[in-house]
Structure 1
Amino acid sequence: MDEIDFFNGLGFDSNPFASTNADDEDRLNQYFIRPKYFDSVWGNPERPKSVIVFAPRGGGKTAQRKMIEFESQRSKNVLCVNYSRFEFSKDIQSITVSDHLRKLIQIIIIGILTRLNEEPQLIGHLDSNDRQFLKNSIDVHLGQISEYDFKDAIDSLSNYSDKAKEYWNKYLGKISVGINLAVLKLGVNTENTNQDPISEALDGSYKYQLEKMQNIISKIDFSGIYILIDKVDEADITGNDANLSSKLVEPLLKDLDLLEMNGYSFKFFLWDKLMRYYDKYGRKDRIKHHSLSWDNFSLKKMVSKRLEAYSNNRINDFSDIVNYDFNIDINSIIILFAQKSPRDVIRIIQDIIAEQREINPYARKISSSAIMKGIDIFTQTKASEIVDISTLRELRKIGQVEFTINYLANDVYKCKQDTVRSKIKRWSDLGIIENIGKEKGRKKPVNKYCISDITIAKCIFPELSIEEFLNSKYRKCPNCGADLFRDWDKSDKKICHICSKESKSTGTKFSEKMFDTQQKTLFDF
């Protein structure tokens, strides 16, 4: 059966979960969940202000950037630049603010020319000095531009239609012809002279050039310039490294004069692991910043709105398309294993659907077996992205989710405690364990740790089904709602590391009524 037929059978016009990348989602505006601070991020185009959004990977950074682009297309009063491709020929430690501004100025110039080509009557709003400055800027910044960089600059103009960009696309391969035609429309002298193209108008710094360009922008009916900085941690030169990612944008983030420049709004959408670096040099008192986090209700709403967008509003809950044998809400278990990541919610559903198509592609409901198998496959995949196979083997040897250094040294690895401490540090740096307090030792209390990532915890017990794993290793604290990964099958009393109160296991099975009656306290919808 074709994919489209399968989804038609479930009640959708196409696959609601085809992509986890907001750049590829053409219906994003129908199911985007606006954070409370979104209006602040959009800001006032008449008085643009810079802003920073921190969020975990898969947490919706690019979706927010896309929605700013969407808003700019509707308002049509800002020049919106998507700056998310970072290719430099120099070492990342050597990249300066000028290196960034050189690329941005290229894009802004092309944005101005596109506007003037689209509405040539606006050329009359520019005086001779404006037009000469623009001509000189073109000579300097576009004179030797490569076809690749030129195409990238066109694509970076977020709020122009494809039709508006057609002018440039037809000149790819003969860029100078297109640029010369655009310059001719300005009505300035295009003959070569002995004068250096970096004339008086360009003697100043890049910031001065930006100020001049903002003046031109204001005369062609743009109130300001929005520069959207995204995907810093996905660049080849940052190598998936938080420190290198921070180094790449540090020159921009540290330059208050630039970030507070009149008519410009630099909007950063950054991996939350960069926050600890920004804390050292950032000016939070001057530049507004927000941290994006998701709760269960918002994630469930995200899935609901996505379902509605692809079913003509007929389906609004994932449970409507599943045959599920357990009393627990299916949305709750998906969100639990996704660990509040919107991207991982979609990935889990993708794996569930893939399993259903393997089991029975003609089914009109998704089965329990597809759900459990899909979640199991996701946990294996996700765990392999977090740790390598040798680390996973080390963790599996532990045989439980709670442990102390003494236990690992004496009973598991048969090694010195210093060797175990190095393992503990490595696991902690990976974010897969946490300190949950103290327990009595022979001479003094010792630190106790537990696995804190549910996908890692599940992979430590591959022999357990999802139901068995949740029964024996997971509870939600009834006092504060914290997720407690503990060996409940070995003791029914544990101390919550968040509220320090005792939590008890009732011993009730995953599929029994207790999960249903305590659903609100367990999953808080």
Structure 2
Amino acid sequence: MSQLLRRLGLRANPFATLSAELEPDIDQYFIRPPYYRYVNERGLRCQTFILFGERGSGKSATRLTLKNEGWKKIQNNSENAALPVTLDDYSEILSRGIRNVAVGDFVRRVCFLTVEAVFVWLAALSSSDREVFVDGLDEDETKLVVSVIREFYLPVPELARRVSTRQALELLNQAWRLRTRLWAEHRWDALISVVASIASSIGRKVADVDMPLEEHVGKLVGSPAGKGVDVSIFARASLQRVVDFVRLFGFNGIMVLVDKVDETPSTDKSAQATAELLHPLLSNTQLLEIDGLGWVFFLWDKVNDLYSDNGPLTVRLDKISNTTIRWEVSSLRALIAQRLQYFSDGEVQSFSDICDGHIDAEEAVESMISLAMSSPRELVRIMDTVLREHEQVHDDSNDTPLVSLASIEGALDRYVSERVKEIYKPEILRQVIRLNQMTFVNKDVQARFRVNDSSARNRIKKWEDSGVIVHTGSRRAEGVATAGGKPAFQYTVIDQRVRRILDREIHLGEQFEFDFDEDEGEESDGEEGEGEDN
């Protein structure tokens, strides 16, 4: 793609990856919609906040941008800088199964990550700067530091510490540019050894002092499932202790960034399991109100209803500041422009700059945003498809022209064809395509598939559960007097990708050809209803 990118004035593909973690400079071109202000203000002030959002809505990009801004404040020696701590790996917390997760599991993990973050930060300093902090501790401060290290850091096996430390170093490297030659060369093993030596050198300062585990830590460790003891008291004491620990090194407090809760093997396909994993922590509001400790949660929006007052896992959301990601069209337009500007060093200002003069670029962008269903991730995927389609169309050309309308339309057709197969089960797509109506009622389904009322209702319910259609009102009964007849529920195909397939009669392959034989034996779960009530 290098020839195409050069022709378009780009040094790299601005849309090459769908994972924010693989974009080290994402804070340079991340669009900051209105919701970001709330996240930023509360996070940097060590105040708890929940950001709900659909998958692909930009939660991880927001988290990485906030983390980077936090580290930049530290690098610039800003007053009241919070220490960013990222919690996005739950393997240890889930080691006994999701049913046995307790608040103590979160506390121990966050305390470990906090101590690790301080050590990684110290490793990024020059030797002389590091000595200022380490040698400047008085006896009582040193005892606090050593006790926290012994209680929360050293009990973790060395191999696990090394793996975790490498991840922490890589995260810091994104935000804190190339501090030393070792960082520049990504010699992580050498840097991990530096971190380990820092822990050892501090520990040796009071090696002759008998410092057993504090009572609250013993309670947390001795009651792994959090049963038979009021763990909350000891959990709060432990968290307050690590806040005191980080303040000894000049930080105002701790900003815990909790992300990817729905991306574990136990939670990937279940909003219920995702909600259950965090419930022990979110239901304990006292742990969310510790001075100097702010939890910033980036959560799948499907867990919101499960935490409501009427939900199965009650959480006092009225006591926790929260908002839901909403992307305006203007912000999504800016997303495309900002990436193009960054990856062209300002030479390309908008999508129209890489299109030929016959294209209405604004209309093309509107179409792409519509197909992306207002998802930043999907919009990036579409833009990448457009560039690749254009390259393929002109693969044999010596001089690749600017992006054409044919390339855009071909890319959008390819995108919808590939994406819907990833999102929906084949039987759902076969049936909706066979119906071939954007808006319909139960009788339309009965007539098209030659099934009874209950079978049609069952089928519509599956489509609705999949998210391809939504209930959009009622349609007056046909063929009866105005005073009689029950209105029929009306449904509309809501997924714009499926609508494009229907509009343009895009062929998805033989697997998606409808066969009436699949209706054989399909019966309702109950008796047929009276009238057309669904």
Shorter-normalised TM range: 0.7 to 0.9
After superposition, the C-alpha distances for 1:192-234 in whole angstroms (9 at most, x for unaligned) are x9x7842458456233122111112112100010000111122
What residue number does 1:105 align with?
Answer: 111
Equivalent position amino acid for 1:407 in 2: D
Query: Structure 1 residue 246 and structure 2 residue 275: aligned?
Result: yes
Report if the CA contact (8 A) 1:405-1:417 is conserved: yes
Compute the displacement of 1:47 (Å): 4.6
| Mapping 1:256-275, distance limit 5 Å | 256-275=285-304
What residue number does 2:134 align with?
Answer: 123
Query: 1:390 and 1:220, CA in 2 relative to 1: closer, same or farther beyond 3 A?
Result: same
What residue number does 2:22 align with?
Answer: 24
Compute the displacement of 1:449 (Å): 0.8
Compute the displacement of 1:38 (Å): 2.4
Q: Aligned residues, how many?
A: 458
Deviates more, 1:222-231 or 1:390-399: 390-399
Compute the displacement of 1:464 (Å): 5.3
Query: 1:45 and 1:14, CA in 2 relative to 1: closer, same or farther beyond 3 A?
Result: closer
Compute the displacement of 1:186 (Å): 4.5
Deviates more, 1:115-124 or 1:240-249: 115-124
Q: Work out which of the residue numbers 343, 346, 353 in structure 2 matches 1:313.
A: 346
Query: Structure 1 residue 434 and structure 2 residue 470: aligned?
Result: yes
Compute the displacement of 1:93 (Å): 2.4
What residue number does 1:359 align with?
Answer: 393
What residue number does 2:454 align with?
Answer: 418
In the aligned structure 2, how far is the partner of 1:25 from the partner of 1:168? 20
Report if the CA contact (8 A) 1:136-1:202 is conserved: no
Query: Structure 1 residue 151 and structure 2 residue 163: aligned?
Result: yes
Query: 1:47 and 1:125, CA in 2 relative to 1: closer, same or farther beyond 3 A?
Result: farther
In the aligned structure 2, how far is the partner of 1:21 from the partner of 1:197? 44
In the aligned structure 2, how far is the partner of 1:67 from the partner of 1:359? 36
| Mapping 1:122-521, distance limit 5 Å | 122-141=133-152, 142-156=154-168, 158-159=171-172, 161=176, 163=179, 169-170=188-189, 179=196, 182-190=199-207, 197-199=212-214, 202-203=217-218, 205-280=234-309, 281-323=314-356, 325=358, 327=360, 329-361=363-395, 362-409=399-446, 411-441=447-477, 442=480, 443-460=485-502, 463=505
In the aligned structure 1, how far is the partner of 2:286 from the partner of 2:278? 15
Report if the CA contact (8 A) 1:225-1:265 is conserved: yes
The TM-score normalised by the length of structure 1 is: 0.80
Query: 1:275 and 1:199, CA in 2 relative to 1: closer, same or farther beyond 3 A?
Result: closer
Compute the displacement of 1:359 (Å): 0.9
Structure 2 unaligned residues grouped into runs of 5+: 75-80, 220-233, 508-534
Equivalent position amino acid for 1:123 in 2: V
Percent identical:
25
After superposition, the C-alpha distances for 1:30-79 in whole angstroms (9 at most, x for unaligned) are 32211224233122678521001111111111111111111111111221
Report if the CA contact (8 A) 1:324-1:368 is conserved: no
Equivalent position amino acid for 2:384 in 1: Q
Report if the CA contact (8 A) 2:332-2:369 is conserved: yes
Query: 1:246 and 1:261, CA in 2 relative to 1: closer, same or farther beyond 3 A?
Result: same
In the aligned structure 2, how far is the partner of 1:172 from the partner of 1:412? 66
In the aligned structure 1, how far is the partner of 2:381 from the partner of 2:468? 20
Query: 1:114 and 1:344, CA in 2 relative to 1: closer, same or farther beyond 3 A?
Result: closer
Equivalent position amino acid for 1:295 in 2: E
CA RMSD of aligned residues (A): 2.8
Q: Secondary structure at the match of 1:426?
A: helix
In the aligned structure 1, how far is the partner of 2:308 from the partner of 2:450? 41
Equivalent position amino acid for 1:107 in 2: L
In the aligned structure 2, how far is the partner of 1:113 from the partner of 1:190? 19
Compute the displacement of 1:153 (Å): 4.5
Deviates more, 1:264-273 or 1:429-438: 429-438
Query: 1:84 and 1:122, CA in 2 relative to 1: closer, same or farther beyond 3 A?
Result: same
